[in-house]
A and B are shown apart, each in its own frame.
Chain A
Amino acid sequence: MGLLSLLRKLRPSPEKEARILLLGLDNAGKTTILKQLASEDIATVTPTAGFNIKSVAADGFKLNVWDIGGQWKIRPYWKNYFANTDVLIYVIDCTDRERLKETSRELFELLMDNRLKQVPLLVFANKQDLPNALTASEVAEAAQLVRLEERTWQIMGCSAVDGTGIKEGMDWVCKNMKK
């Protein structure tokens, strides 16, 4: 055994990598959640043209989180990022009542894709810090999430700006990671 391979053996085994896809309509709070996960400043977030990506360490996993812009012009490109996704996180702005139907329609449409068939889904019901926000269960009902049936899924209230609920959500993500 050469010295190099010995050294390689001594090194701790590289942590498991996982690919997390972060989707949702524009202004849902995807980039703020991403920055919150990476412990970065969230005060200077701008609308995402294209996508952002960050690697975050959690529970022995190296999570590669892809945050894709949510405006309708970008949505046709979402499918380019579906392959090899381990967990899908879908973010909903709970104060945007007018677009609840739209966000629900987009969600069910993307879930029809074969590449996302076995993928666990976490729905973040974001902006719970705002007074006029719908609760997570109200959103689940309005977006008809019961139709998800066989998929492993969970909805969780959160506030991306103060971080409430984000950690709980990510714990669920790590536990239900696609094997």
Chain B
Amino acid sequence: MFLFDWILGRILPVIFLHLRPFIKWFLHTFTRLSELQRIVYGAQAGASRTRKVERSLMLSQNIEIQQLLQELDTAVESCSDNELILLPVRAISVVQHAKHIKSKIHPDFTPLFGTCVLQIWSYRHLLHQVERLRAEPYDANNLVHEQKLLELWNRLMPEEPLEGRITKQWQEIGFQGDDPKTDFRGMGLLGLENLLYFSREYRDAAHHVLLHSKHPVYGYTFAIVGINLTAMAYRLLKSGDAKVHFYNAAQALNQPCTLMHFHKFYCYLLFEFDRFWMESEPTNIMDFRDIYQRFEILIMEALHNDKTLFKTNLIVEEV
């Protein structure tokens, strides 16, 4: 059993990596199409196709393509959304040249491949954006930060005015003490922006979840749990596990991956976590670790399926 696993896990990939050029050469001669063309024409649009394209590009030994990848990776570190949309044009021209693909003979290749490129590098672009927000600590002396915090209160508790900046009232929406400034910790502004997006764009869902968090038995700390789900969303994005959902979402909407998609992904996680928590009938908040870990495994399992696209139109079922 061990030997079998070992062969499967260790030896086969090595053999495959060395055989790859031969297989590619064989298929190229046979089909008269490059690997990228075979993927683009053969695989289903969305995560399935885009991830195969990504893998093919990453494994490419062609110098031109390797330089292109570096160029694109550097560009997405700081480029604007407008510059981002132009990246596929550059990628297409390099690949056409490197792989001798004539657009007159293969007119379909260009737009399909371009879509994949946009999905791959808008995801990487998003990763940098998210990382910048996360790395910006919450600063109580920053007026913009403070205004966002107050807006969060007003959106979640529209009928109850805040009596002061430092008040026990913050605990009603699940912060730890009388000043939320230290609760964002390692998630920085990202944690606040996520919560704010949820309360702003999914008003009903947010109020529904907030109400659950005040349940006498199954209650939990809304904001703190929310910040812990920011950590989950961030982890899944960074590890690449979330690619399946983001590529499929980008494909369905015919858009690049944007910060808005990250917020929506987060809102899905928070909304579904709340449901999962209530269904688990926890004894008290000390069950959080266990339920949180089980929930993350469920999400990871879903993301192993190339077709997964989380539904981000969160519907509150009236009882």
| Residues of B with C-beta under 8 A to A42 | 186
* B288 contacts partner chain A, Cβ-Cβ < 8 Å: yes
**Are A49 and B288 within 8 A (Cβ)?**
yes
| Residues of A with C-beta under 8 A to B231 | 44, 46
Cβ of A73 to closest chain B Cβ, rounded Å: 7
Q: A44-B134, A44-B231, A46-B187 are contacts. A71–B289 as well, Cβ < 8 Å?
A: no
Partner of A45, one of B177, B185, B225, B292: B185
**Are B285 and A74 within 8 A (Cβ)?**
yes
Give chain A interface residues in 26-40, CB to chain B under 8 Å: 26-27
* B278 contacts partner chain A, Cβ-Cβ < 8 Å: no
Number of interface residues of A (CB under 8 A): 21
A42 to B221, CA, bound (A): 23
* B312 contacts partner chain A, Cβ-Cβ < 8 Å: no
Cβ of A125 to closest chain B Cβ, rounded Å: 18
* B57 contacts partner chain A, Cβ-Cβ < 8 Å: no
A119 to B224, CA, bound (A): 31
* B192 contacts partner chain A, Cβ-Cβ < 8 Å: no
A47 to B134, CA, bound (A): 15
Among B134, B176, B285, find the residue whose CB has the most chain A CB atoms closer than 10 A. B176
Partner of B186, one of A44, A52, A69, A80: A44
**Are B284 and A77 within 8 A (Cβ)?**
yes
Partner of B221, one of A51, A53, A71: A71
Partner of A77, one of B171, B183, B185, B286: B286
| Residues of B with C-beta under 8 A to A73 | 171, 176, 221, 285
Cβ of A81 to closest chain B Cβ, rounded Å: 9
**Are B186 and A45 within 8 A (Cβ)?**
yes
| Residues of B with C-beta under 8 A to A70 | 176
Q: A50-B286, A51-B289, A73-B285 are contacts. A43–B186 as well, Cβ < 8 Å?
A: yes
Give chain B interface residues in 192-230, CB to chain A under 8 Å: 220-221, 224-225, 227-228, 230
Cβ of A106 to closest chain B Cβ, rounded Å: 13
Give chain A interface residues in 58-86, CB to chain B under 8 Å: 69-74, 77, 80
**Are B177 and A26 within 8 A (Cβ)?**
yes
| Residues of A with C-beta under 8 A to B191 | 46
**Are A26 and B176 within 8 A (Cβ)?**
yes
| Residues of B with C-beta under 8 A to A44 | 134, 186-187, 231, 234-235
Partner of B177, one of A46, A72, A77, A80: A72
| Residues of A with C-beta under 8 A to B287 | 50
| Residues of A with C-beta under 8 A to B186 | 42-46
Partner of B185, one of A47, A49, A50, A74: A47
A135 to B212, CA, bound (A): 43
Number of interface residues of B (CB under 8 A): 28
| Residues of A with C-beta under 8 A to B284 | 77
* B93 contacts partner chain A, Cβ-Cβ < 8 Å: no
Q: Which residue of A lies closest to B229 (CB)?
A: A46
A119 to B220, CA, bound (A): 31
* B182 contacts partner chain A, Cβ-Cβ < 8 Å: yes
Q: A45-B185, A71-B221 are contacts. A50–B177 as well, Cβ < 8 Å?
A: no
Partner of B286, one of A27, A46, A51, A72: A51
Q: A73-B285, A74-B285, A77-B286 are contacts. A49–B177 as well, Cβ < 8 Å?
A: no
**Are B187 and A49 within 8 A (Cβ)?**
no
Give chain B interface residues in 165-194, CB to chain A under 8 Å: 171, 176-177, 182-183, 185-187, 191
**Are A49 and B234 within 8 A (Cβ)?**
no
| Residues of B with C-beta under 8 A to A53 | 289
Q: Which residue of B lies closest to A53 (CB)?
A: B289
A47 to B286, CA, bound (A): 13
Cβ of B151 to closest chain A Cβ, rounded Å: 21
| Residues of B with C-beta under 8 A to A47 | 176, 183, 185, 224, 227-228
Q: Which residue of A lies closest to B225 (CB)?
A: A49
A34 to B185, CA, bound (A): 15
Cβ of B141 to closest chain A Cβ, rounded Å: 15
In the complex, the 8 A-B pairs of residues with the closest C-beta atoms, listed nearest first = A50-B288, A71-B176, A44-B186, A49-B288, A45-B186, A27-B182, A26-B176, A46-B231
- Taking Cβ atoms with an 8 Å cutoff, the residues of A that contact B are 26-27, 42-47, 49-53, 69-74, 77, 80
User: Can you report 29 residue pairs joining A to B where beta carbons are below 8 Å apart?
Assistant: A26-B176, A26-B177, A27-B177, A27-B182, A42-B186, A44-B134, A44-B187, A45-B185, A45-B186, A46-B185, A46-B187, A46-B228, A46-B231, A47-B228, A49-B221, A49-B285, A50-B286, A50-B287, A50-B288, A52-B289, A69-B285, A70-B176, A71-B224, A73-B171, A73-B221, A73-B285, A74-B285, A77-B284, A77-B286
